[in-house]
Structure 1
Amino acid sequence: MFFRIINKAVKADAKAIIFIGLIVFVLISTRIIQLIEPETFNSYFNALWWVMTTITTVGYGDISPVTVGGQLFAIIVIYIFGIGIMGVAIGYIVDVYVEYKKKKEKGKLTYKGKNHFVVINYSKRSKETIEELINMHDKIEIVLIDETINITPLDDEKVHFISGDPADIRVLEKANISKSNSVMIFSSEGVSNASFADGQTLLIAMAIESYSEKIDTPIYTIAEVTSEKHITSFIHGGVDEFVTPNHTSARLIAKSGSYKGVSEVFRQLTSSNYGEDIFIIKPHRGWKTYQDAFNDLYKQGATLLSVDNNLDVSAKSNEKLNGKSKLLIVCKNDTFEEIKKYVS
């Protein structure tokens, strides 16, 4: 019987045994010193205070044994065994923290938060996007997925790195994409051929769509598309939005060449480093038409850009406004906070 108990104890988790043993040791030692010197340690809390300050080597000296028996107990039991057990326990805590940091840096940990942004594939453009998201949102976290790097490229507590194939359902689950705000898929910088690059992006998008159908939860996806001719395939793949950086840059340069200063306007609109920024709001219940929304927002210091992604606001000025529409506005952050309260 005795040997079976010893055998089970050896097989048990050593760390758990140490911590349980430490707790038991503290509780028993507290009671023993109280029995040895009831006048010095007139309450269980005073005895517990002395035991804890001693084994943690803090040693305030505000209370201590005065009898020979109490001092011998302190030397033999508390100093030798207590400080030793506490040292081992602290060592385990440090080991756990170091192991946690290593796993986090190597992208081995599962993300359990929600309302986060998921960025797939690390590149110059995705890095700039992550930096912009951090500037825009104080509390929202970002999960970066990439299979080409083995250690997190960004030293920021808001960024959680996951190493793995983003087309693998298990990797997507580790990123908790079902609870995410949106998923942004960037083209891999290691693929120069547009068809191959978009093919990889589409594969990831279809994996996300398949997972979305499996769990019966919509997942909003935004994909970087290298060639516009592939957009039809992405539409069939269930992607919600598309960004074509090469064509967008070319068109913006052409516009700037024709109408000087246009690029500066776009740069300010797409950056959070300026006073004005772009926000989405819902209509106020008192806004009946597009004109009502435009005029009211203008008075509050905001400009209405679009309704449900349509820019023809002025052309529809007298049309009825849908109460469930999404209104894109430009204003200062303080103004947005006031408008958000106003329309709620």
Structure 2
Amino acid sequence: MIFRILQKAMKMNVKATIFIGLLIFVLLSAKAIQVIEPQTFTTYFSALWWVMTSVTTVGYGDISPVTAGGQLFAMVIVYIVGIGIMGVAVGYVVDVYVEFKNKKESGKLAFKGKDHFVIINYTRRSKETIQELLNMHEDKQIVLIDEDIEKVPFVHEHVHFVHGEPADIDTLEKANIADSTSVMIFSSDGVPNASFADGQTLLVATSVEDYSQKINKSIYTIVEVTSEKHIASFVHGGVDEFITPNQTSARLIAKSGTYKGISEVFRQLTSSNYGEDIFTIVPQASWKTYGDACQSLHNMGATLLSVDNNLDIAAKSSEKLPPQSKLLIVCKSEIYEQIKKSS
């Protein structure tokens, strides 16, 4: 019997053997001291309590052996062997924690959560995006993918790092993009040629789309495009949205030069630090026309920006509002919650 147990233990993982051995040692030691001193340890639980407080070096002293045999067993078996095994077990626990921490920081652990944001490539712009997402969503997780950095660059409890090639399916699966809210692909820093930069981004976007088709599940992708002339290629690749920071910045500067102060309006629209933010809602049943939606939202303290990405709301005031439209509004977060409840 004992020989078979030893044979199985030798085939097991060393760490598992240590913990199983510690458990067996504690249970047998409790029974042994109860047999040696039945008058002191009247129940098995009291014996188990004494063994546990001894091997963990807590030593409350509320109960202890009084006979020579019991004290000898305590000194030789429980104190020397038991405390030694406990020390080894605690050491393994610390090793496991340190190993887990190192793997997490170096991006070697897969993310198992859902409804998270995936950001590909760590750049100055993606760093600002991460910070803005954290300001907007207190309970959302963010997964950052990058192959050029060896350790998590943005330390936050809601930011998970995955190290690997973004175009590699294994890396995308480690980030669990299948269950993500959206995937944001940023153009790498330090690439002076726009065609080369967008070519790299297109490769990643295509890999995401191929994976989406493979699992037969839609994955919403937002891509930073360096040059607008390359957008057609991204449209062909199935990308949902495009951001062109260079052209957008140039146009905003031009608008500000003509209509002074307009840049502050855009800054407030694109930031969560000004009290109001942009939210997406669906029409309520009582909103029959564009005008109904605009007036009702105004009464609730919200401003309707667009319907299905179209800004011509005033021109369509009397037209029928499609029931499945996507409405963009600007309001405070508490007003947004009230609108959701009333839907």
Q: What is the TM-score of this pair, normalised by structure 2?
A: 0.95
Q: How far apart are residue 194 of structure 1 and its match?
A: 0.2
Structure 2 counterpart of 1:143: 143
Q: How far apart are residue 269 of structure 1 and its match?
A: 1.3
| Cα distance in 2 between the residues matched to 1:261 and 1:62 | 76
Q: How far apart are residue 133 of structure 1 and its match?
A: 0.7
Matched, 1:172 2:172: yes
Supply the AA of the counterpart residue of 1:50: W
| Cα distance in 1 between the residues matched to 2:322 and 2:31 | 72
Q: What is the TM-score of this pair, normalised by structure 1?
A: 0.95
Structure 2 counterpart of 1:325: 325
Structure 2 counterpart of 1:33: 33
Could you tell which deviates more after superposition, 318-327 or 145-154? Answer: 318-327
Q: How far apart are residue 272 of structure 1 and its match?
A: 1.2
Structure 1 counterpart of 2:297: 297
| Cα distance in 2 between the residues matched to 1:59 and 1:339 | 60
1:328-343 alignment, distance < 5 Å: 328-343=328-343
Q: How far apart are residue 288 of structure 1 and its match?
A: 1.6
1:117-156 alignment, distance < 5 Å: 117-156=117-156
Structure 2 counterpart of 1:198: 198
Unaligned runs of 5+ in 1: none
1:197-236 alignment, distance < 5 Å: 197-236=197-236
Supply the AA of the counterpart residue of 2:211: Y
**Given the superposition, is the C-alpha separation of residues 189 and 36 from structure 1 closer, same or farther in structure 2, using an over 3 Å criterion?**
same
Structure 2 counterpart of 1:115: 115
SS at match of 2:330: strand
SS at match of 2:325: coil
Structure 1 counterpart of 2:65: 65
Matched, 1:254 2:262: no
Supply the AA of the counterpart residue of 2:166: P
SS at match of 1:59: coil
The percent identity for this pair of structures is: 70
| Cα distance in 2 between the residues matched to 1:48 and 1:309 | 69
SS at match of 1:321: coil
SS at match of 1:315: helix
Supply the AA of the counterpart residue of 2:236: H
CA deviation map 1:3-26 (0-9, x unaligned): 897665434210010011111112
Supply the AA of the counterpart residue of 2:71: Q
**Given the superposition, is the C-alpha separation of residues 119 and 266 from structure 1 closer, same or farther in structure 2, using an over 3 Å criterion?**
same
SS at match of 1:268: helix
Structure 1 counterpart of 2:84: 84
CA deviation map 1:39-72 (0-9, x unaligned): 4333333332222222111222233223333222
Supply the AA of the counterpart residue of 2:104: K
Unaligned runs of 5+ in 2: none
| Cα distance in 2 between the residues matched to 1:65 and 1:339 | 70
SS at match of 1:161: strand
SS at match of 1:277: strand
Supply the AA of the counterpart residue of 1:114: K
SS at match of 1:238: coil
| Cα distance in 2 between the residues matched to 1:271 and 1:167 | 30
| Cα distance in 2 between the residues matched to 1:4 and 1:52 | 27
SS at match of 1:119: strand
Moved over 4 A (4+): 1-8
SS at match of 1:33: helix
SS at match of 1:248: helix
**Given the superposition, is the C-alpha separation of residues 186 and 47 from structure 1 closer, same or farther in structure 2, using an over 3 Å criterion?**
same
| Cα distance in 2 between the residues matched to 1:2 and 1:39 | 30
CA deviation map 1:173-232 (0-9, x unaligned): 111100111000000113110000000000000001000000001000000000000000
**Given the superposition, is the C-alpha separation of residues 5 and 60 from structure 1 closer, same or farther in structure 2, using an over 3 Å criterion?**
closer
SS at match of 1:139: coil
* Pairwise CA RMSD: 1.8
